[in-house]
Amino acid sequence: MNAPTPFAENIIPLLPQPYLVFLGDTTVPGYAKTAFGLRDWARDLCVGEYSCAPDAVSAGLPAMTPAEAKAAGARSLVIGVANPGGVIPESWIVALVEALDAGLNIVSGLHARLEDIPALRKAAARSGQRLIDVRVPPENISVATGRKRSGKRLLAVGTDCALGKKYATLAIAQAFKEREINTDFRATGQTGIMISGGGMPMDAVISDFEAGAAEMLSPDAADDHWDVIEGQGSLYHPAYAAVSLGLLHGSQPDVFVVCHQPGRTHILGLPDFPLPSIEEVIDLNITLGKLTNPAIRCGGIAFNTSDLSAEEAEALMARESKRLGLPVADPIRKGPAFEALITSCLGDT
């Protein structure tokens, strides 16, 4: 296994666990992906959930106040929301101060810095608790070289943001390991970093260093080693395409998997921008990815079918696989379709 990046090694062990997961007042499930990711991939680290609005999204964890969570063993409140712009709204401040006063640290993966909010800074000083920002890149990132690195790499890309790239790569990495393949999951967002214990917060990196950060995240490795790299955003997203392109160039993926949520018709939160087709996403990622890896190929499609019944999902994936000529599977549902996707990604016959 590759050594973790210096950032991962230095920051993650500092996170006090377990967590009370904070959902704020968000009502959009897509913005609660940090909470859902922790629930699904690090359930043993989650004591319960807390919100500050009756109609807030739920992650299905036990509802607790900060005081109740502290009594149940929680050491930190983790902000489980990844909202547009990564801001901490005024409506959250009272709840976050309550958590600090109850004896919980606050862990945030948002762009906004906890220390920059006077009320939180004052409450932390009063209570003796810590304000911990995970979305802080290391200081020693170099500009990308484009040099071809040893080892093999798989990158998740998407038709949009917040539709399953993290879940897909976690499941793919797990499946590779089950086949006894030397594999590392490489996290590129705050939730993945919290789950895996290492990574690079790509959307907090200065644009000129995006590709260099991706190179740093997946260094030279043994020829039979795979880095399975969590994707970010979409090349078709009007706000987040820049991080997607830097990650694509710096990762130099041998294989990419397109992530898509059937039924979604427009970019999340941007109704004036229709979703691209899967074929468009495949073609554009190949065209742009060839700059740093001329041999790049699409290994298949990962569907998020959480809104469909098992029968509906199976029928849809079979139709789309036949239409596209590639494996289509839901990494969470697993099954023969997912095994076919894994086989295709590995290049096995």
Do both 178 and 314 map to the same domain? yes
Residue 69 pLDDT level (bands cut at 50, 70, 90):
very high
CB atoms within 10 A of CB 178: 10
- Confidence check: pLDDT of 326 > 50: yes
Amino acid 211 reads: A
Quick check: 78 pLDDT over 80?
Answer: yes
> Residue 208 — φ and ψ, nearest 5°?
-60, -20
Which range among 13-22, 25-34, 157-166, 245-254 shows the weakest confidence by mean pLDDT?
A: 13-22
Whether the pLDDT of residue 130 is over 80: the answer is yes
For residue 6, what pLDDT band results from cuts at 50, 70 and 90?
A: very low
In a domain, 192, yes or no: yes
Q: Name the residue with tokens 């999902």.
A: 313
d(CA 128, CA 117): 16
Give the range of the structural domain holding residue 298, as residue numbers without chain letter: 152-346
Whether residue 312 sits in one domain with residue 204: yes
Domain count along the chain: 2
Reported as a single tens digit per residue, the pLDDT across 27-36 is: 999 899 899 9
Distance CA 140, CA 120 (A): 29
3-state DSSP call for residue 210?
helix
**Same domain, residue pair 259 and 334:** yes
Residue type, 290: K
- CATH number of the domain bearing residue 120: 3.40.50.720
Greater pLDDT, 139 or 67:
67
Which residue from 201, 255, 246 is spatially nearest to 228, judged by alpha carbons? 255
Q: Do residue 34 and residue 66 come from a single domain?
A: yes
Residue 82 confidence (pLDDT):
86
**140, part of any domain:** no
The domain that contains 315 carries what CATH number? Answer: 3.40.50.300
- How big is the CA angle at 270 (ends 274 and 253), to the nearest 5 degrees? 70
- Domain closes at, from 129, 161, 181: 129
pTM of the model: 0.82
Residues 6+ apart with CB under 8 A from 196: 185, 187
How deeply is 161 buried, as exposed, middle or buried, from its count of CB atoms within 10 A (0-12, 13-18, 19+)?
buried
What's the pLDDT at 86? 87
